[in-house]
Copies of this chain bind each other. A is one copy, B any other.
Amino acid sequence: MSTRVIRGVIGYTITPFAVDGSLDLPALGRSIDKLIASGVHAIAPLGSTGEGAYLSDAEWESVVRFSQQQVAGRVPTVVSVSDLTTARTVQRARLAESCGATAVMVLAASYWKLTDTEIVDHFKAVGAAINIPIMLYNNPATSGTDLSVDLILRILDDVKNVTMVKESTGDIQRMHRLFKATNGKVAFYNGCNPLALEALIAGAAGWCTAAPNLIPDLNLALWDAVQNGQMEQARTLFYRQYDMLEYITRRGLPTTIKAGLKLQGLDVGGPRLPLQPLDADGCTLLQQRLDELAPTPGVTP
């Protein structure tokens, strides 16, 4: 487990579908190449943006195999392996590891509310099954389960390969408490786009985001500004991209990122039903925002 922690902007991939609803792996390849070429520090397949929850087991397996081959070690990867059952999460984690994933991400997904013990044991089971690091993912808005800071600290204690925490509640106080409780030692990640400035300044080790599919230069420039301690620059860059970050997050990442890629010339299909492609008004708004943020040749963001 050489790479225990990934730092930087972690770009989440979409999962392209053909018109008949089947996987479009060539388009996936192009979108991965686009992301890597943009300079993101890592690639995260099959996350919320990647519609991992909507895929069949066979599709899921195809995507993880293909993604790892396409990335081909150019950057580290974090594969989302979450499933409602422990058994299938373990199985996916093992598959990801066998395909060469650098790390896996696990959301405490649930249908029935889980007890703290059930959540800890779920992470223990995954931790025992693999030899790569785990990114614990807390996102009550999609999972229905909110892991308290205390519970996260307990998992960090009990499961040694949980080395990263992705916080998507949108509550910066969670990050403050994680930082304080571990003397700044835990690697936490921002999973809420419109909180990027604050999370990075509060000490986040990275930014988990689908935005680099569309506006990578701005995302990376913000990351760099914070790393370089350029506060004024960071603020300006953040507010420049804020409306876009807020919109794609609120309106849904698969829906908006797929629409945006199409507007940029890369057709990756629509999301899977019941999710529908972004409607005409949404596309107009998105085009407008993309135009505003388009890099002027010769000018750094």
Q: Which residues of A contact B (CB under 8 A)?
A: 21, 48, 53-54, 56-57, 84-87, 110-115, 117-119, 121-122, 125, 141-142, 144, 170, 172-173, 176, 179-180, 184, 194-195, 197-198, 201-203, 226, 229-232, 234-235, 239, 242-243, 246, 252-255, 271-276
Cα separation A229 to B232 with both chains bound (whole Å): 7
The answer to whether B252 and A121 touch across the interface, beta carbons within 8 angstroms, is no
Cα separation A141 to B170 with both chains bound (whole Å): 19
Closest to A183 in B: B239
Smallest beta-carbon distance A162→chain B, Å? 15
Of B197, B201, B273, B276, the contact of A235 (CB 8 Å cutoff): B201
Going nearest first, the 3 A-B pairs with the smallest beta carbon separation are A86-B273, A198-B198, A122-B274
Given A176-B194, A272-B85, A231 and B226 contact (CB-CB distance below 8 Å):
yes
The answer to whether B194 and A173 touch across the interface, beta carbons within 8 angstroms, is yes
The answer to whether A112 and B142 touch across the interface, beta carbons within 8 angstroms, is yes
Point out the residues of chain B lying under 8 angstroms from A56, CB to CB: 57
Of B85, B198, B273, the contact of A54 (CB 8 Å cutoff): B85
Cα separation A230 to B271 with both chains bound (whole Å): 44
Of B142, B226, B274, the contact of A144 (CB 8 Å cutoff): B142
The answer to whether A254 and B172 touch across the interface, beta carbons within 8 angstroms, is no
The answer to whether B274 and A119 touch across the interface, beta carbons within 8 angstroms, is yes
Given pairs A112-B271, A226-B231, A231-B234, 13 additional interface contacts (CB within 8 A): A48-B112, A86-B273, A87-B272, A87-B273, A111-B142, A117-B276, A122-B273, A141-B144, A144-B144, A176-B242, A201-B234, A201-B235, A229-B230
